[in-house]
A and B are shown apart, each in its own frame.
Chain A
Amino acid sequence: MTAVVLAILAPTVAAAVGFFSGRRWPRTAVPVAVAGAGVALAAAVVLCARAVRDAPLGDALRGPRVPTGTIELGIDLRLDGLAALVSVAVAAVAFAVQVYSPAYLRGDPRYSSYTALVSLFTAAMMLVVFADDLFVLLVGWEVMGVCSYFLIGHHWEQEGARAGAVKAFVVTRLGDVGFLFGIFALAFAAGTFNIDGARLAALDNGIPQSSATVATLLLLCGVVGKSAQFPLHTWLPDAMAGPTPVSALIHAATMVAAGIYLVARLYDVFLLAPATLAAMAVIAAVTMLGAALAALAQDDIKRVLAYSTVSQLAYMLAGLAVGSAAAATFHLLTHAAFKALLFLAAGAVIHAVGTNQMPDMGGLRRAMPVTFVTMTLGLAALAGLAPLAGFFSKEAVLGAAEESALHGSSAGPVPTWAGWLVLVVGLLTVSVTAAYAARLWLLTFFGRPRGSGVARAAPHEAPPAMRWPLVALAVPTVGLGALGLQRDRLPQWLGVDEQLHLGVVTSVISTALALAGAAAVVLMWRRDPAADPSDRLARLRPAFAGAFYVDELYDRVFVRPVSAAARAVRWTDDSVVDAGVVGSGHTATRLAGWLRLAQAGNVQTYLTGMLAGVVIVAVGVVTLT
């Protein structure tokens, strides 16, 4: 368990040191941060080795109790297979990002605060991964949200960064309201805030189905917000205004996966609520296909990857919806690897070319060979082509969907229509995914360079500090698929009572669809190498590019009325409240002006007034006494 504490504390200390000393001694920022991430990675690897060797692993650290008056909290940590595996993914990507960032953000004046925030983020994610108490998890959850806000807004001189940071924070916060109430509901239903305790209560039939449904639906709000699913997905594309390594770490590999992780953790509770699972299936299906179609029409390379992330997260949610936490976790791990790789490679491309816009790129494969190869591997994994990792994990999800569709889910409560929905939409999405991956590949690396003066004259390969993380991440992108070859290996490591289903028929159909989608794009491109294949979408393209105008809808329904209300309040404050205050000043001045008219300067007038007053007083005295 010391490794667990070390994995959480090392980045925390690195963050604290970075915050305090980063300004005065900027040279120490990079070594401190890399050391923190390195120690966390080492600890996580040790834990993972232990999990593999001692499967199923289950170890707990019970900290001090916090009395609340009713159900008490505890600062508890838990180590099991799921936590260990996910922690390795987090630590590895964090380490890669800390190595990559100095080269990417060379010359940035705020670099020390950047690394400190990334370290703090790593610590918070580790806390979420290892938390055994709902409130400890919530603390990590919210700290991640705060770090995300600061990191998206790193270049706060740009309006897009500021707006993106606020939007991310507000939208995820909206989900977190439901999340908080979900925590309360679950704790009251299970009688404890301890996560393992809640899980055991669920297994023991200690939680009635209605309470479980309410609690899980509320928790789902937080998951939908954090993992950018419909209808709270709008923040993730705008969060691309942050630096690319941040996008790689937070918005691809780790923070957005935290929602999926939470469901996997509390899966025994979720299994008690078929309504929630059905809702998850619907949300996942809508998000999956919608985001993939949106990715097809984007011009900004990072926005393609952002919508792609939303779509792949929907795959994970779908895996959970059809009853297989193991499949969802498998996809989480592989996605962390290849999506981080894709983002970092995109960063290398942006660094070389100087722009995010794909129409301004082209023909980079000769200038940037390492980036080309690694990004090709990543895109192939994304599209789900064998034998890369993405193929196996996606097949695991689709196989679980097929299982629940055809045989009723092995886990019991998942309705068969949900299984069919996930299967059909999942297969369609595979095709679209392959299409946009191919489009990105072609537009960036092939054809004539289309740069219009924004691009540099001679794009060059990325510096070594940026290249090595790409190569390092390419290894799990290719090799992690081996986990899927044996049915029980991963579930055993995770400690769940399941099996991975990889159906032959589904695999063949999905591979065929993927190849078809990619081939369609390649053919369209071959006809006219200078044109964008997505232009063939014609009138559908603006709808896809605008993500079906969900943002505009939110603007109309929420943002404008609130802004109008805020303006009304300000007007009231200015014209009513302020006017009252200032008006009383005016009135006093005016009254004083009228009183001053009595000062005519004539002594006899004053005397008359005085004597008249005396007379009146005398009359009063005489008559009243």
Chain B
Amino acid sequence: MPLLMPLVVAALLFSIGIYGVLARRNAILVLMSVELMLNAVNLNLVAFDVWLRDELLSGQVFTLFVITIAAAEVGLGLAIVLLVFRNRATSQLDELVELREADALRGQPDVRAMR
């Protein structure tokens, strides 16, 4: 089959994953979107491995590694989400905004004191 078919599918999945990471509020939905992106990468790796007929099967082996790491990541990520939920009673990402510059325009320092 043309190499482009798996590649294009992977690319589409990747961009859909990006949209999900950036546009969804719930933290667990974001994790799901990250999984989509990782799967896109896996597909890419496998496609190239089969196309190149690598001796070491490096594409497929890497895919296995990525799957493993993704599993570990989801475990830890969910632990964090649960921790946040325990403390803030929310898993909405846009309510976790402690790092915001609250008074960006209002809290100007007294410039007259500079003279």
What is A's interface to B at a CB cutoff of 8 Å? Answer: 578, 582, 585-586, 589-590, 593-594, 596-597, 599-604, 607-608, 611
Within the complex, what minimum Cβ distance (angstroms) separates B29 from chain A? 11
Which of A582, A601, A602, A611 is within 8 Å of B115, CB to CB? A582
A123 vs B109: C-alpha distance when bound (angstroms):
62
Residues of chain A within 8 A (CB-CB) of B30 are: 604
Within the complex, what minimum Cβ distance (angstroms) separates A414 from chain B? 65
Residues of chain B within 8 A (CB-CB) of A608 are: 22
Residue contact A582 to B93, C-beta cutoff 8 Å: no
Within the complex, what minimum Cβ distance (angstroms) separates A368 from chain B? 61
Which of B23, B94, B96, B101 is within 8 Å of A599, CB to CB? B101
Within the complex, what minimum Cβ distance (angstroms) separates B86 from chain A? 19
Residue contact B111 to A586, C-beta cutoff 8 Å: yes
Interface band, chain B: 20 to 34
Residue contact B99 to A601, C-beta cutoff 8 Å: yes
Within the complex, what minimum Cβ distance (angstroms) separates B106 from chain A? 9
Q: Which of B87-103 contact A (CB under 8 A)?
A: 93-94, 96-101
Within the complex, what minimum Cβ distance (angstroms) separates A588 from chain B? 10
A607 vs B19: C-alpha distance when bound (angstroms):
11
B18 at the binding interface (Cβ < 8 Å): yes
Which of A593, A607, A611 is within 8 Å of B104, CB to CB? A593
**CB pairs A–B below 8 angstroms (21 shown):** A582-B115, A585-B111, A585-B114, A593-B104, A593-B108, A594-B105, A596-B101, A600-B97, A601-B98, A601-B100, A601-B101, A602-B94, A602-B97, A603-B96, A604-B21, A604-B22, A604-B30, A604-B93, A604-B94, A608-B22, A611-B18
Residue contact B108 to A590, C-beta cutoff 8 Å: yes
Residues of chain B within 8 A (CB-CB) of A596 are: 101, 104-105
- CB nearest to B27 among chain A residues: A603
- CB nearest to B18 among chain A residues: A611
A417 vs B31: C-alpha distance when bound (angstroms):
116
A602 vs B25: C-alpha distance when bound (angstroms):
10
Residue contact A597 to B105, C-beta cutoff 8 Å: yes
Residue contact B22 to A599, C-beta cutoff 8 Å: no
Query: Given that A602-B93, A603-B93, A604-B94 are known contacts, is A597 also in contact with B104, CB under 8 Å in the complex?
Result: yes
Given A596-B105, A602-B93, 18 other A-B contacts at CB below 8 A?
A578-B115, A585-B114, A586-B114, A589-B108, A590-B108, A594-B104, A596-B101, A599-B99, A599-B101, A599-B104, A601-B96, A602-B97, A604-B21, A604-B30, A604-B93, A604-B94, A607-B22, A611-B22
A69 vs B47: C-alpha distance when bound (angstroms):
93
- In order of increasing CB-CB distance, the 6 nearest A-B pairs are A601-B100, A601-B97, A596-B104, A599-B101, A596-B101, A597-B104
Within the complex, what minimum Cβ distance (angstroms) separates A498 from chain B? 70
Residues of chain A within 8 A (CB-CB) of B21 are: 604, 607
Residue contact B108 to A600, C-beta cutoff 8 Å: no
Within the complex, what minimum Cβ distance (angstroms) separates A576 from chain B? 15
Within the complex, what minimum Cβ distance (angstroms) separates B63 from chain A? 24
Which of B22, B100, B111, B115 is within 8 Å of A589, CB to CB? B111
Residue contact A582 to B114, C-beta cutoff 8 Å: yes
Within the complex, what minimum Cβ distance (angstroms) separates B82 from chain A? 18
A597 vs B105: C-alpha distance when bound (angstroms):
8
A586 vs B114: C-alpha distance when bound (angstroms):
9
Residues of chain A within 8 A (CB-CB) of B115 are: 578, 582
Within the complex, what minimum Cβ distance (angstroms) separates B113 from chain A? 11
Within the complex, what minimum Cβ distance (angstroms) separates A585 from chain B? 5
A590 vs B105: C-alpha distance when bound (angstroms):
8
A603 vs B97: C-alpha distance when bound (angstroms):
8
A604 vs B26: C-alpha distance when bound (angstroms):
11
Residues of chain B within 8 A (CB-CB) of A599 are: 99-101, 104
Within the complex, what minimum Cβ distance (angstroms) separates B52 from chain A? 23
Residue contact A589 to B96, C-beta cutoff 8 Å: no
Residues of chain A within 8 A (CB-CB) of B111 are: 582, 585-586, 589
A582 vs B111: C-alpha distance when bound (angstroms):
9
- CB nearest to B94 among chain A residues: A602
A597 vs B93: C-alpha distance when bound (angstroms):
19
Residues of chain B within 8 A (CB-CB) of A611 are: 18, 22
Within the complex, what minimum Cβ distance (angstroms) separates A609 from chain B? 10
Max chain A Cβ within 10 angstroms of own Cβ: one of B23, B30, B96, B101? B101
Within the complex, what minimum Cβ distance (angstroms) separates B51 from chain A? 22
Within the complex, what minimum Cβ distance (angstroms) separates A268 from chain B? 63
A481 vs B99: C-alpha distance when bound (angstroms):
101
Within the complex, what minimum Cβ distance (angstroms) separates A495 from chain B? 68
Q: Which of B56-115 contact A (CB under 8 A)?
A: 93-94, 96-101, 104-105, 108-109, 111, 114-115
A601 vs B94: C-alpha distance when bound (angstroms):
8
Residues of chain A within 8 A (CB-CB) of B99 are: 599, 601
Residues of chain B within 8 A (CB-CB) of A594 are: 104-105
A608 vs B111: C-alpha distance when bound (angstroms):
34
A600 vs B101: C-alpha distance when bound (angstroms):
6
- CB nearest to A608 among chain B residues: B22
